């Protein structure tokens, strides 16, 4: 089965209703739906000269957009990424820092050591997602949350993969139930209480199959607990984007055509993996397009060299029309 291409508009659940006050701005939005964190737009982007009539009509047309752009500049959204020292979380954290003209980036890590690993800046908070109170300082004042925490299976001591199939286990207290369910639920609850306007959650493909081999890894039922947290997020009322990634690759980003799908259909195809760098980019792009909101989708990529590298993320998100 191939990937699914959908062309209808985004679900209505995240659209701003008439006269609802637009987050971050004092003006009200009457008839159109906008992303919470639009890309900056400036008048200099038009090629018309200031005296021409096309300039004047462009200026009239852009005036409302420019009010938004200027206001956005005054208050850049603060975006917290958790698991910021993890393999994908670190890429997201770096991208937020690189785009400091658009975002105030924050990170949450578990230890002082992890904080040092990603540069030790003061916008990196230390907390444990299993301890709800420890999340409050990082979440307070954040406009968006990107969840990139995960339980991590370890090879059982004494396992020798050179001679036998390795066995895996989870540390006591760090099973998927505690990290991927309770830990993600704590993050969602804290974000909702703090008035966070969008949560992006990176999950995993395979969640439709309770007998997926990953569930037997360390007896953790990891995909079951991840899926439970996804459902909790979808039911939370906070606009969400759930990215169910295929097998993660440590390869360069922006070189592949990205594919979205639903309900693990991509697992029946050859297109089942995606670079961590591309997942990180999709997390950030999801903050910028209304079309990404209130949706869950599978994400994979064509092999490098086949297909056209994805640059139009609005079009990518628009292919998904169903919510959870």
CA gap 264, 286 in Å, rounded: 20
Q: In the structure encoding, which two tokens stand for residue 90, read together? A: 């670190």
Q: Does residue 220 sit in helix, strand or coil?
A: coil
Window of 67-75, 149-157, 190-198, 262-270 that interacts with ligand NAP by CB under 6 A: 149-157
Q: Does residue 241 sit in helix, strand or coil?
A: strand
Chain centroid to CA 126: 20
Nearest to 227 by CA among 247, 210, 246, 240: 210
Q: Rounded to the nearest whole angstrom, what is the least distance from the CB of residue 213 to ligand NAP in the complex?
A: 13
Window of 20-28, 147-155, 161-169, 184-192 that interacts with ligand NAP by CB under 6 A: 147-155
- Concatenating the DSSP letter of every residue in 223-267 gives HHHHHHHHHHHHHSSS-EEEEEE-EEE-S-SSSS-EEEESTTGGG
CB-nearer residue toward ligand NAP: 76 or 185: 185
According to the binding rule CB under 6 A, does residue 248 interact with ligand NAP? yes
Q: Which of 114, 142, 150, 204 is catalytic?
A: 204
Window of 82-90, 95-103, 191-199, 251-259 that interacts with ligand NAP by CB under 6 A: 82-90
Annotated catalytic residue 30:
no
According to the binding rule CB under 6 A, does residue 89 interact with ligand NAP? yes
How does DSSP classify residue 287? T
According to the binding rule CB under 6 A, does residue 221 interact with ligand NAP? no
CA quadruple 101, 59, 15, 104: dihedral, nearest 10: 10
According to the binding rule CB under 6 A, does residue 276 interact with ligand NAP? yes
How does DSSP classify residue 219? G
According to the binding rule CB under 6 A, does residue 179 interact with ligand NAP? yes
Q: Does residue 98 sit in helix, strand or coil?
A: helix
Window of 63-71, 163-171, 243-251, 284-292 that interacts with ligand NAP by CB under 6 A: 243-251
End-to-end CA distance of the chain: 20
Q: Rounded to the nearest whole angstrom, what is the least distance from the CB of residue 139 to ligand NAP in the complex?
A: 13
Number of residues this chain uses to bind ligand NAP (CB under 6 A): 24
CA gap 257, 272 in Å, rounded: 12
Residue nearest to ligand NAP (CB): 86
Q: How many CA atoms does the CB half-sphere of 242 hold within 13 Å?
A: 30
109-128 residues in contact with ligand NAP (CB under 6 A) are 110-111, 114, 128
Q: Rounded to the nearest whole angstrom, what is the least distance from the CB of residue 96 to ligand NAP in the complex?
A: 15
Count other Cβ atoms within 10 Å, centred on residue 304. 14
Q: Of these, 102, 150, 241, 288, which contacts ligand NAP (CB under 6 A)?
A: 150
Q: Of these, 149, 301, 318, 319, which contacts ligand NAP (CB under 6 A)?
A: 149
Q: Rounded to the nearest whole angstrom, what is the least distance from the CB of residue 270 to ligand NAP in the complex?
A: 16
Cα three-residue angle 87-92-97, rounded to 5 degrees: 130
According to the binding rule CB under 6 A, does residue 200 interact with ligand NAP? no
| Whole-number Cα distances in Å, 142 to 12, 54, 106, 150 | 24, 40, 8, 21
Cα maximum dimension of the chain:
77
Q: Of these, 36, 85, 234, 316, which contacts ligand NAP (CB under 6 A)?
A: 85
* Binding-site ranges for ligand NAP (CB under 6 A): 83, 85-89, 110-111, 114, 128-130, 148-150, 152, 179, 183, 202, 204, 245, 247-248, 276
Catalytic positions? 204
């Amino acid at each position: 089965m191939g990937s699914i291409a959908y062309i209808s508009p985004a679900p209505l659940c995240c659209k701003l209703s008439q006269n609802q006050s637009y987050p971050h701005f004092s003006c009200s939005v009457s008839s159109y739906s906008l992303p919470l964190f639009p890309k900056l737009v400036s008048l200099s982007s038009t090629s018309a000269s200031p005296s021409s009539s096309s300039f004047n009509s462009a200026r009239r047309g852009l005036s409302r957009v420019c009010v938004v752009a200027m206001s956005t500049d005054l208050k850049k959204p603060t975006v917290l990424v958790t698991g910021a020292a993890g393999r994908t979380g670190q890429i997201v954290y770096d991208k937020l820092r690189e785009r400091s003209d658009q975002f105030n980036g924050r990170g949450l890590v578990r230890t002082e050591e992890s904080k040092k690993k990603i540069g030790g800046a003061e916008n990196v908070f230390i907390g444990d997602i299993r301890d709800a109170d420890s999340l409050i300082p990082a979440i307070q004042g954040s406009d968006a949350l990107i969840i990139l925490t995960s339980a991590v299976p370890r090879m059982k001591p004494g396992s020798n993969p050179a001679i036998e199939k390795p066995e895996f286990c989870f540390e006591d207290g760090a099973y998927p139930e505690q990290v991927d369910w309770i830990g993600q639920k704590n993050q969602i609850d804290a974000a909702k209480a703090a008035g966070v306007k969008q949560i992006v959650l990176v999950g995993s493909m395979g969640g439709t199959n309770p007998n997926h081999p990953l569930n037997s890894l360390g007896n953790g039922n990891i995909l079951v607990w991840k899926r439970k947290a996804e459902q909790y997020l979808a039911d939370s009322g906070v606009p969400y984007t759930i990215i169910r990634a295929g097998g993660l690759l440590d390869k360069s980003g922006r070189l592949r055509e990205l594919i979205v799908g639903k309900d693990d259909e991509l697992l029946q195809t050859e297109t089942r993996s995606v670079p961590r760098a591309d997942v990180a980019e999709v997390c950030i792009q999801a903050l910028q397009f209304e079309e990404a909101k209130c949706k869950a989708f599978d994400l994979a990529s064509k092999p490098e060299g086949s297909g056209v590298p994805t640059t139009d993320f609005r079009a990518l998100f628009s292919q998904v029309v169903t919510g959870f």
